[in-house]
Chains A and B, each alone.
Chain A
Amino acid sequence: MQNGEIAFYLLSAGAITFALLTITRKSAVVSALMLVLTFCFLAALYLTLSAQFLAVVQVAVYAGAIMVLVLFVIMLLNLESEDIHVSKNWKAVVGLLAAMGVLAQVLAMIFMSQDKFPKTISPNAAILGTTESVGRTLYTAYSFPFEMASLILISAAVGAVVLAKKRLT
């Protein structure tokens, strides 16, 4: 096994472990902190693929900013005191079976399409992953989607105000 492969398996094992911990912890705060660790492992995975910019953004935005928001929401709602009730009826069983079915399909698809995946990382990858080249691409070739993302943000902002404002009229 090459160094890269060992790193991949270690990092993904870490990401999966903490993702599982995220959804199995009783305390919402612990879950949130486990999610931070999951994001950090994912960021490290991006680094092994030479996507430096993406890795930094992953940590800064997801593990940083968004998780702070999540923690704030948890504190404001004071979820700590409540027991999270998990229903164990036939619906949960059917849901689990369906999820397992989809997982099996995805895994089968990955194993059957192995010849489609590139074996090595392109030598250009290190250049493509820099902030400069990501920025250049965003502002030239992908300028339209980049600008249109602002439309999504304003819809969401207006929506939040419309749904949450105090005065109804």
Chain B
Amino acid sequence: MISGFQISARDIYGVMPLLILAGTGLVVLMWDAFEKVPTRIPLLLTVLGALAAGATGIINIENTGRVFNGMILNNGYSNFYSALFSVAVVIAVLLAERYLKDEEVLIGEYSALTLFAACGMIMLASGNDLIVTFLGLETMSIAFYVLAGLFRRRQESNEAALKYFLLGAFSTGFFLYGIALLYGSFGTTNLDGITAALSIPAKSASVLASPMFWMGMGMLIVGFAFKVAAFPFHQWAPDVYEGAPTVVTGFMSTAGKAGAFGALVLIVNIAMAPMTGNPAALNKMQTLIGVLALASMFYGNITALSQMNIKRMLAYSSIAHAGYMLLGVAAMSQAGATSVTLYLTVYTFMQMGAFGVVGLLEKQGGVGLNLSDYAGLGRRKPVLAFVMSIMMLSLTGIPPFGGFFAKYYLFTAAIQSGLTGYAILGMIATLISVYFYLRVMVVMYFRDAEEPALQVSGGGGIALSTTGNISAWAALAIATIGISVLGLLPMILTNLAKTFYLH
């Protein structure tokens, strides 16, 4: 019936990070429209806005409750993710400055779309209603479709945008149909409502026995699996990740995944937690997600072995990383939710760092992306090679970097939920990944460049210069510090995460 809900100051304050990001996006757009000569101001505005949004998220991290009539979470979980996305925006924008200048793309447009995408991600990770989740997914995806096609003069970039757009629209259909069927099963789209319905034994038993629920859940997971590029729904990922501008690839393969997983964890690990009372249904759900997880891990890692283009290699390995995180979702526990959060945080830093280095070494027109171009890098660019090595070691999961503890917590959560077999297979998949990640280091340090291609800056190519490139170095520093701190002190995050789900 007609509700008497009225918006209050508390509601507005509860979505502050999102409002700041959206507001910054609009200001940057307006600035861009009136700017005569390109300056650094849009970049500075974006960084300041994102930092303010992140700070608001951190300040509000102890909040509890819901705002906007139960539509939006305002608790540790949502505020932590808001801060994470804001940091991702900062890294993405800082990395992009020189890169976009080379390709003659205005930083303002890029920044505004990145900010809007981040708004979508915040909606995903704080959406307490499937309608908000859907809107968030669309906001994020539409910004990504455009960002993928930002290099209009490059054919691969256009192809990436079109491919992503068409397949993304298709997956949206699945996602919406899933929401409709879940609404049919529960009579509500609110996640609290779903938890309440599953907590009543009689209602829960009837819902979990109905094909409508499983069909809806299946469709919803297909929609998410597409967005995170999990195995049978990954076909778009390698082409899009390769064709999109490198900085965009870095942002969408990390923050984009984090947004989608933020919502999936809310739905599966938190809202559907009462399912643990029904072993048969729980088993079905764990198998459903677990099989997707294993397939993604093995497919991603095995295909990455044969990739010679570094962007493609990172794209295939990101399919594998989606698989690891799906294992945390399959655990269907709070421990699983925490481990996915930790993994996403670390993954955002390490993958964006890796793509940042790739972007810095890339020359105009997408040259310099092959593994052989990295030969001898250890001698020519020792600092960059060192940063890349840290990223590779962390992506493999070798201590003392963040990647190790992230994987450790994931597999522990899976074992605690009785998914021991899955966890063991996951570790085997990790071992496969050692080969192609360490190969990058071997090439950088132990192989000499056949031709000094990257060294000479002539013609259209611009070899990276360390001067005038402060923003990119700042971004790489944030990423490196992030994974080092989380590698040495993961308890900071895991202890914090314990308070996330109180309310």
Are B131 and A163 in contact (CB-based, < 8 A)?
A: no
Q: Which one, A39-47, A59-67, A149-157, is touching chain B?
A: A149-157
Measured between beta carbons, the chain B residues less than 8 angstroms from A144 are 11, 15, 68-69, 71-72, 132
Q: Counting CB contacts under 8 A, is A101 at the interface? A: no
Q: Which of B106, B131, B142, B161 contacts A152 (CB 8 A)?
A: B142
Q: Which of B1, B29, B117, B210 contacts A113 (CB 8 A)?
A: B210
Q: Which one, A6-14, A17-25, A104-112, is touching chain B?
A: A104-112
Measured between beta carbons, the chain A residues less than 8 angstroms from B184 are 113, 116-117
Nearest residue (CB) in A for B26 is A154
Contact flag A116-B161 (CB < 8 Å), given A144-B72, A145-B71, A145-B132: no
Are A151 and B119 in contact (CB-based, < 8 A)?
A: yes
What is the bound-complex CA distance between A169 and B102, given in angstroms? Answer: 11
Q: Which one, B145-153, B290-298, B478-486, is touching chain A?
A: B145-153
Are B139 and A152 in contact (CB-based, < 8 A)?
A: yes
Are B119 and A143 in contact (CB-based, < 8 A)?
A: no
Are B116 and A140 in contact (CB-based, < 8 A)?
A: no
Nearest residue (CB) in B for A168 is B104
Measured between beta carbons, the chain B residues less than 8 angstroms from A106 are 215
Q: Which of A105, A151, A156 contacts B215 (CB 8 A)?
A: A105
Most buried by B among A106, A140, A144: A144
Are A169 and B106 in contact (CB-based, < 8 A)?
A: yes
Are B211 and A159 in contact (CB-based, < 8 A)?
A: no
Most buried by B among A109, A136, A149: A109
Q: Counting CB contacts under 8 A, is A124 at the interface? A: yes
Are A155 and B211 in contact (CB-based, < 8 A)?
A: no
Q: Which of A105, A140, A155, A168 contacts B153 (CB 8 A)?
A: A168
Are B139 and A151 in contact (CB-based, < 8 A)?
A: yes
Instruction: With both chains docked as a complex, state the minimum distance between the C-beta of B70 and any C-beta of chain A, in angstroms.
Output: 9
Q: Counting CB contacts under 8 A, is A137 at the interface? A: yes
Are A151 and B116 in contact (CB-based, < 8 A)?
A: yes
Measured between beta carbons, the chain A residues less than 8 angstroms from B71 are 142, 144-145
Contact flag A108-B113 (CB < 8 Å), given A137-B2, A137-B3: no
Measured between beta carbons, the chain A residues less than 8 angstroms from B68 are 143-144
Are A141 and B3 in contact (CB-based, < 8 A)?
A: yes
Are A141 and B69 in contact (CB-based, < 8 A)?
A: yes
Measured between beta carbons, the chain A residues less than 8 angstroms from B153 are 168
Residues of A contacting B: mostly: helix
Q: What 0/1 pattern do residues 59 to 81 of B give for CB contact below 8 A with A?
A: 00000000011011000000000
Are B146 and A163 in contact (CB-based, < 8 A)?
A: yes
Q: Which of B11, B69, B139 contacts A155 (CB 8 A)?
A: B139
Are B69 and A140 in contact (CB-based, < 8 A)?
A: yes
Are B5 and A140 in contact (CB-based, < 8 A)?
A: yes
Are A149 and B211 in contact (CB-based, < 8 A)?
A: no
Restricting to B97-152, which residues have a CB under 8 Å from any CB of A? 104, 106, 109, 112-113, 116-117, 119-120, 123, 129, 131-132, 135-136, 138-139, 142-143, 145-146, 149-150, 152
Measured between beta carbons, the chain B residues less than 8 angstroms from A133 are 2
Measured between beta carbons, the chain B residues less than 8 angstroms from A113 are 184, 210-212
Instruction: With both chains docked as a complex, state the minimum distance between the C-beta of A122 and any C-beta of chain B, in angstroms.
Output: 11
Are B138 and A158 in contact (CB-based, < 8 A)?
A: no
What is the bound-complex CA distance between A108 and B15, given in angstroms? Answer: 42
Are A140 and B4 in contact (CB-based, < 8 A)?
A: yes
Q: Counting CB contacts under 8 A, is B7 at the interface? A: yes
Q: Counting CB contacts under 8 A, is A76 at the interface? A: no
What is the bound-complex CA distance between A156 and B144, given in angstroms? Answer: 10
Q: Counting CB contacts under 8 A, is A1 at the interface? A: no
What is the bound-complex CA distance between A16 and B113, given in angstroms? Answer: 39
Contact flag A141-B5 (CB < 8 Å), given A113-B212, A152-B135, A155-B139: yes
What is the bound-complex CA distance between A116 and B2, given in angstroms? Answer: 25
Measured between beta carbons, the chain B residues less than 8 angstroms from A162 are 109, 113, 146, 150
Instruction: With both chains docked as a complex, state the minimum distance between the C-beta of B202 and any C-beta of chain A, in angstroms.
Output: 14
Q: Counting CB contacts under 8 A, is A148 at the interface? A: yes
Measured between beta carbons, the chain A residues less than 8 angstroms from B136 are 148
Nearest residue (CB) in A for B136 is A148
Q: What 0/1 pattern do residues 122 to 142 of A give for CB contact below 8 A with B?
A: 001000100001001100111
What is the bound-complex CA distance between A100 and B7, given in angstroms? Answer: 47
Are B185 and A116 in contact (CB-based, < 8 A)?
A: yes
Nearest residue (CB) in A for B131 is A145
Q: Counting CB contacts under 8 A, is B94 at the interface? A: no
Instruction: With both chains docked as a complex, state the minimum distance between the C-beta of A158 and any C-beta of chain B, in angstroms.
Output: 6
Nearest residue (CB) in B for A108 is B211
Are B112 and A158 in contact (CB-based, < 8 A)?
A: yes
Q: Which 7 A-B pairs rank lowest in CB-CB distance, beginning with the nearest?
A: A159-B146, A144-B68, A113-B212, A141-B3, A109-B211, A155-B116, A109-B215
Residue ranges of B at the interface with A (Cβ–Cβ < 8 Å) = 1-7, 11, 15, 22, 26, 29, 68-69, 71-72, 104, 106, 109, 112-113, 116-117, 119-120, 123, 129, 131-132, 135-136, 138-139, 142-143, 145-146, 149-150, 152-153, 161, 181, 184-185, 210-212, 215
Given contacts A144-B132, A151-B139, 7 further A-B contacts (CB under 8 A): A116-B184, A144-B68, A144-B72, A149-B135, A155-B143, A158-B116, A163-B161
A-B contact pairs, 10 of them (CB 8 A): A106-B215, A116-B185, A136-B2, A140-B6, A143-B68, A144-B132, A152-B135, A155-B139, A158-B116, A162-B150
